[in-house]
Amino acid sequence: MVSNRDFYLRTFAQHLIIQMSQFTPRTPRKNPVGNLKKVRDTVMGILYILVAAVMVWAEKQGYISLGLTFVYVLAAVFVIYGLFRLYRVIFSKSN
């Protein structure tokens, strides 16, 4: 004789197997947050490069006086980071 517990477990297992066999993977949807991140990274990458160019220009014109070596080093860091952000956008895995 089959107990109620065994009957319900067997019924549940059969139902689960049927449900899993009917499972079809969904097509992936576009991720709006991923698109927003791409736009943000692109804008920020360009902005960092522009800030570096403006810093060098302002130092050469005499608008700021931080020292040419310091400005060049800081501008190089800004350009490298800006290029890194653009690299992340170009070679990202999501479409």
State which residues form the domain around 54. 4-90
Structural domain count, the chain: 1
pLDDT at 42 over 80: yes
95 assigned to some structural domain: no
Q: Is residue 82 part of a domain?
A: yes
Question: Would you state the torsion angle of the CA atoms of residues 50, 53, 59, 60, taken in this order, to the nearest 10 degrees?
Answer: -140
Residue 75, pLDDT > 80, answer: yes
Find, among 94, 81, 95, the residue nearest to 41 by Cα.
81
User: Could you tell me which of 46, 42, 45, 70 has the C-alpha nearest to residue 58?
Assistant: 70
Confidence class of residue 13 from pLDDT cuts 50, 70 and 90? confident
Average pLDDT over residues 28-57: 89
pTM summary value: 0.64
For 15-36, the pLDDT digits (tens) are: 666 666 666 666 777 777 778 8
Confidence of residue 74 (pLDDT cuts 50, 70, 90): very high
Q: Report the mean per-residue pLDDT for the chain.
A: 83
Q: Give the C-alpha separation, 5 to 13, whole Å.
A: 12
Domain-embedded: residue 10: yes
